[in-house]
Structure 1
Amino acid sequence: MEFKVNNIEETTNIAFKLGQLLNPSDIVCLTGDLGTGKTHITKGIAKGLNINDIITSPTFNIVNEYDSGRLKLNHFDVYRVNDPDEIYAIGFDDYIFSEAVSVIEWANYIEEILPREYLHIHISKDFTKDEDYRIITLKGYGSKYDYIKELKI
C-alpha cells in the first residue's frame, strides 16, 4: 500500500488513521533516510491511540513509554544502537512481546532481531516534486496485519 503526501499534516493524518486501527502487541517498523518523517509518523500513531503526551524521539534513551492512551506505546529509536546486545540489555523482548504497540524507528538497524510478523512503513522523499513530498509505503508481514487494507485516506 502506498501513499503520496505533500506535507507533514498529510503524513501525520495517515499515521493517525493507522493508530486508530492498531491492536495490542502490534509492531510497527519505520525506515527511511534522516529527516523523512519517522517521528511524525510516530506522533500520528500516538494521536490515533488517544495519547496526548508530547512525543519525542528517544535517540539517547532508545525507548520512551507512553501509557495514557487506548493502548500503551513503546517508541524505540535504534539509530545509535551498535550491537543487538545493546537493545536486548534494555529488555527488548519484554517490550515488543507485551500488549503495547511498539514503534521502532530505524528498524533496518536491528533487522536480524525483529520478529517475523510486523508492519513495515518506509518513507522516502521525492525531490523532483517538492521538498515536502513523501512516498509512504506500508507492508504487513504476517496475516495479523491484513487490517491495513482498511486504511482509508
Structure 2
Amino acid sequence: MSRLELDSRSATETQELGRLMAGALEPGDVLVLTGDLGAGKTQLTKGIARGLGIDDEVTSPTFALEAIHEGGRMPLYHFDLYRLHDADELGDAGLWDVLGTDGVCVIEWGEQFADELGDERVDVLVTRAEDEVEAGGEPLRHIELVSHEARGDALVAAVADVLRGQGPA
C-alpha cells in the first residue's frame, strides 16, 4: 500500500493537481474520491478532464449517476454514487460496463462500495481543514492518495514524481 499526502489552497490548485495526476493515469485506472459535500471532489475531476485533453464541462453527475467525457487521450467515466444505497444498483448505474476498460473511472462517493470495487483502485480522500483558511478565504484541503495493489502503487509513485517535477506533466 502506497500513500501520498498533499495540500491544496484553492479550487484552482485542486484542479491543477487533477491535471497533473491525469498525466500518470492509464486506461483501466480507478479513482474513488471520498470527501464531504463541497470538499473538492468535482474540482479534482475537472482537473483530471483537462489533463486528459477533454474540453467538456465537468459537473458532478448526481442525478444521472454517470457522465462520459470523450475527446481526450482516453475517455473519462465520471460516477457519483451518492444516491445509491445497495451494491446491486452499481450495474444499473453502468459502472460494470466501463470499469477496467479503455478509460479512467473517477467515482465520487464510492467508498461505501469498496468491497465490490476491489483493490484495483486508488482512494483519494479530500478533506477541508475549516480551521486553516488561506488568504483567499478558502479552507485548506488535505488530499490523500491511498493505493491497494501494484498498479495503484505505481500510479501514486508516478503522481509523486510529477509533483516533484521528475515526470511528465
Q: Following TM superposition, by how much is the alpha carbon of 1:111 offset from its aligned partner in structure 2, in angstroms?
A: 2.0
- What residue is the counterpart of 2:12 in the other structure? 9
Q: Following TM superposition, by how much is the alpha carbon of 1:9 offset from its aligned partner in structure 2, in angstroms?
A: 1.0
Q: Deviations over 1:16-52 (max 9, x none)?
A: 1001110011001100111100000110111111111
Alignment match of 2:78 (pick from 75, 78, 98): 75
- What residue is the counterpart of 1:133 in the other structure? 140
Which amino acid is 2:94 matched to?
A: G
State whether residues 131 and 139 of structure 2, in contact with CA within 8 Å, keep that contact through their aligned partners in structure 1: no
Give 1:2-81 correspondences, 5 Å limit: 2-81=5-84
**Which one is further off, 29-38 or 127-136?**
127-136
- What residue is the counterpart of 2:166 in the other structure? none
Distance in 2 of aligned mates of 1:90 and 1:132: 33
- What residue is the counterpart of 1:85 in the other structure? 88
Which amino acid is 1:123 matched to?
A: V
Report the 3-state secondary structure (helix = DSSP H, G, I; strand = E; otherwise coil) of the residue aligned with 1:133: strand
The answer to whether structure 1 residue 123 and structure 2 residue 126 are counterparts is yes
State whether residues 34 and 125 of structure 2, in contact with CA within 8 Å, keep that contact through their aligned partners in structure 1: yes
Distance in 1 of aligned mates of 2:147 and 2:52: 19
Report the 3-state secondary structure (helix = DSSP H, G, I; strand = E; otherwise coil) of the residue aligned with 1:123: strand
Runs of 4+ that moved beyond 4 A: none
Name structure 2 gaps, 5 residues minimum. 164-169
- What residue is the counterpart of 2:158 in the other structure? 150
Identity, in percent, stands at 35
- What residue is the counterpart of 2:109 in the other structure? 106
State whether residues 119 and 141 of structure 1, in contact with CA within 8 Å, keep that contact through their aligned partners in structure 2: yes
Distance in 1 of aligned mates of 2:143 and 2:9: 11
Report the 3-state secondary structure (helix = DSSP H, G, I; strand = E; otherwise coil) of the residue aligned with 2:82: coil
Distance in 2 of aligned mates of 1:59 and 1:91: 14
TM-score normalised by the chain length of structure 1: 0.94
Name structure 1 gaps, 5 residues minimum. none
Alpha-carbon RMSD: 1.3
Distance in 1 of aligned mates of 2:157 and 2:93: 33
State whether residues 120 and 139 of structure 1, in contact with CA within 8 Å, keep that contact through their aligned partners in structure 2: yes
Report the 3-state secondary structure (helix = DSSP H, G, I; strand = E; otherwise coil) of the residue aligned with 1:129: strand
